[in-house]
Amino acid sequence: MSTSLLPNPVVYRGSDDKEFFKEVSAGLLQPQKTLPCKFLYDDCGSELFNQICDLDEYYPTRTETAILHDNIREIAQVIGPGCRLVEFGSGTSTKTRMLLQHLTDLASYTPIDISSGQLFDSCEKLGTDFPALEILPLAADYTDSLQLPESEMPAQKVVAFFPGSTIGNFEPHEARSFLHRIACLCGRGGGLLIGVDLIKDRRRLEAAYNDRKGVTAAFNLNVLTRANRELGSDFDLSSFRHQAIYDAALGRIEMRLVSLRPQVVRLANREFFFDEAEYITTEYSYKYSLSKFTNLAQSAGFEVLNVWVDRNRLFSVQYLGVRSDVHEVYGGLGEKGN
């Protein structure tokens, strides 16, 4: 079978300028100013994040990769043959290659990413390296309700892949809703292979999000550059600084852009006032204990079937099976925001 890549391999369902404007405006009008973390990932932001993944301080990527590498045969056996693999936030699909190399009779692969440029480049490379694989990419905000591209190949089940501890970017009630929608998308008999960052000491966590080279700071500030470029706002980047702190009570890293002085930012015909030390929250990264994540998964329609953890217990890779009562456990609520 030859490569089956869609003639136009990007099915674009991403955010447009109107949505970007609406969400930025709404976020800056909140008592605690916020910007949705999905807007960090334009092409420049995605490239900066790839650099973050290679930093000494940033343990999640190398730890998760090592877990996958050391356990890939068992993971492939647990997933089983003949699945359709759907990846949320596929990025460069680096970790996915291990799955593609070891899964047997893989029906198709659907990578989903908000950065269409990176998605296209990744699929071109995968198409070359896996010429017999049907690749059906979807450029989209994966937090929206999705309809997967039609596949020519029948699948025995649908298995989602959500690596990178990205589930931590959701607040717990949002994570529950999102996981439930994945469960409904995969359907009975399906599953989810997911990376989950574990609770650990504050020093290691804060170092991971405040690297010495300043790459994370550049990644965070890039969202203001994007707003200036795409929306015509006038953020002065020299008047904001990156900050990431760990809130032990809530079990999360909070990434911020802190105003260094009193200032006014203009966006269209609106003005947004900042006091000195006032900040914009740009991203949360929740950390979980194994038991707490098990409870979350069960409440969303999954059961935890397998857990793989590194020797230092920094990170976990987990395989969740869709429960037969998936629609009942969450009261049938599967849409974003419920």
DSSP string, 140-199: E-TTS---PPP-SS--SEEEEEE-TTGGGGS-HHHHHHHHHHHHHHH-TT-EEEEEEEBP
Spatial separation of the C-alpha atoms in residues 259 and 129, rounded to whole Å: 46
Quickly state the pLDDT bin for 332 (edges 50, 70, 90): very low
Task: Determine the average pLDDT of the residues in 240-247.
Answer: 98
Convert the pLDDT of each residue in 147-182 to its tens digit.
Answer: 888 888 889 999 999 999 999 999 999 999 999 999
DSSP assignment letter at 32: S
pLDDT at 8: 43
- Residue 242 above 70 pLDDT? yes
Higher-confidence residue of 15 and 184: namely: 184
- Residue 12 above 80 pLDDT? no
pLDDT at 57: 96
pLDDT at 118: 83
pLDDT at 220: 98
Higher-confidence residue of 59 and 329: namely: 59
- Residue 335 above 50 pLDDT? no
Quickly state the pLDDT bin for 91 (edges 50, 70, 90): confident
DSSP assignment letter at 331: T
Quickly state the pLDDT bin for 6 (edges 50, 70, 90): very low
pLDDT at 328: 62
C-beta separation of 37 from 283 below 8 A = yes
- Residue 336 above 80 pLDDT? no
Q: Mean pLDDT across the chain, nearest whole number? A: 90
pTM of the model: 0.90
Taking 3-state DSSP, the helix, strand and coil percentages for the chain, each rounded to the nearest 5, stand at 40, 25, 35
Portion of the chain with pLDDT greater than 90, in percent: 77
Spatial separation of the C-alpha atoms in residues 23 and 177, rounded to whole Å: 20
- Residue 93 above 90 pLDDT? no
Q: For 6, how many CA atoms within 13 A lie in the half-sphere containing its CB?
A: 21
29-30-36 Cα angle (round to 5):
95
pLDDT at 15: 52
pLDDT at 324: 87
pLDDT at 330: 53
pLDDT at 326: 80
Ordered domains of the chain (ranges, CATH): 12-41+201-286 (no CATH), 56-200+288-329 (3.40.50.150)
Task: Determine the average pLDDT of the residues in 58-85.
Answer: 97
Q: Which of 225, 317, 4, 321 is closest to 133 using CA atoms?
A: 4
Spatial separation of the C-alpha atoms in residues 87 and 161, rounded to whole Å: 5
pLDDT at 166: 94
pLDDT at 119: 87
pLDDT at 225: 98
pLDDT at 117: 82
- Residue 3 above 80 pLDDT? no
